[in-house]
Copies of this chain bind each other. A is one copy, B any other.
Amino acid sequence: MRQADTALGQNGQGGEANGDCRSCEARLCDLLRARGAPRRRLLGRGERLSALTCLKLWTVLDGVVAFCSTLADGRRQVVYLSVAGDVVVPPLGVDGTEVWIEALAPTSLCELDLGSRTDSPLGQDAALWAELFRNAHEQAKAFSVHLVTLGRLDGMERVCLFLAEMAWRIGCKTAAGWRVRLPLSREDIADYLGLNPETVSRIFSRVKKAKLVTFLSPTDYLVPDIQALQRRAPLSPPNAPAKEQRRDIAAWELRAL
């Protein structure tokens, strides 16, 4: 995740020109730029993305996107949340009624369609496939962390982990602590954490009472001490100290390439 920060370092450009997108300076888009321009897309809340038969990739530029799944009786589970900088590898070969990608807030992203690209010798492009593997592999790792969360953490732990994770991923550090604006509703949070909206609201109140966070509004909160918040969850969010992990991956990748 957060690829734009680490992939190409800093180039100072950042020009948000028409058609071009800043986040596409990440490694994936950089690889694909030579093979054709990615397409920019804007989504409203609730809109869905589909990749039925051809492989597509989405790099989130702004907003939140959820990897969703529903059961026959309507129960919904958000498998994963992707925010600005994340690359979404969609599920393939599903009809879209059980699993889909959905924007939880107004979202902009750039779409890379690999399936319809018959003009270039995509199949021979080892660097591209290697990058695709890396993204899918990272996604599996992120899924597994959230799976452990749902399997073994109680409500309080899940919520504290969520609040800390959101701070790392979309918060900004201020003098008073981490300031976060949640781009999703209580129901979305509940579906992500495998809880009920009422339970989420109740635990938010308990977290507030324990002075772990301060709520400025239902959607805005402040984390005065993020270490204290993380200590309440026996699991570190996948994005907190991930810098060293990404170095390790780069090590074998470098050796292989």
Contact = CB atoms under 8 A, between A and B. Distances in A.
A252 B136 contact: no
A234 B136 contact: no
This chain's copy number in the assembly: 2
Contacts of A151: 77, 150, 193-194
A215 B141 CA distance: 36
Contacts of A79: 144, 147-148
Interface in A68-107: 69, 71-73, 75-77, 79-80, 89, 91-94, 99
Task: Kindly state the interface size class of chain A when it binds its partner.
Answer: 35 or more
Most buried by B among A53, A92, A136, A140: A140
Interface of A: 52-55, 67, 69, 71-73, 75-77, 79-80, 89, 91-94, 99, 114-115, 117-118, 122-127, 129-130, 132-133, 136-137, 139-141, 143-148, 150-152, 193-194, 234-235, 244-249, 251-252, 255-257
